[in-house]
Amino acid sequence: MHLSSALALATLLSLSACKDSVASAAGTAQSSQSVSDDLRITQEIQQRIAEKGELSEDARKIEVTTENGLVALRGKVASVVERNTVETIATTVAGVTRVDNRLEVKPD
């Protein structure tokens, strides 16, 4: 292999590695942004639930998790009305793409 061919090959390999590093860094930055958005969504939903005076103590203790804009609601609530109210709260927060409502209505 000639020296100029070897240098050209080495340059191409270096450029390819740089491109992969940049793509990987961009993916990490996007993931960090997604995690930050998910945390904001979860906190906003929890705050809105806490501020909703007519909700039961059980409703205030539900588990709220968010991943890539998908909100999961888990726990027990006092009524179907509470279940629907909490779901509505979640769906109205900016950035929410879908709500998985697994809230259970406590038997009387």
- Per-residue pLDDT of 43-85, as tens digits, reads 999 999 999 999 999 999 999 999 999 999 999 999 999 999 9
CA–CA distance, 52 with 59 (Å, rounded to integer):
10
The region of weakest confidence among 21-25, 46-50, 79-83, 91-95 is: 21-25
> What's the CATH number for 32-105?
3.30.1340.30
Amino acid at 75: G
Could you tell me if 77 and 99 are in contact, meaning their C-beta atoms sit under 8 angstroms apart? no
**What global pTM score does this model have?**
0.70
> Does residue 92 carry a pLDDT above 60?
yes
The residue assigned the tokens 């009305």 is 81
DSSP string of 49-97?
A: HHH-TTS-HHHHT-EEEEETTEEEEEEEES-HHHHHHHHHHHHTSTT--
Q: Residue 22's pLDDT band (boundaries 50, 70, 90)?
A: very low
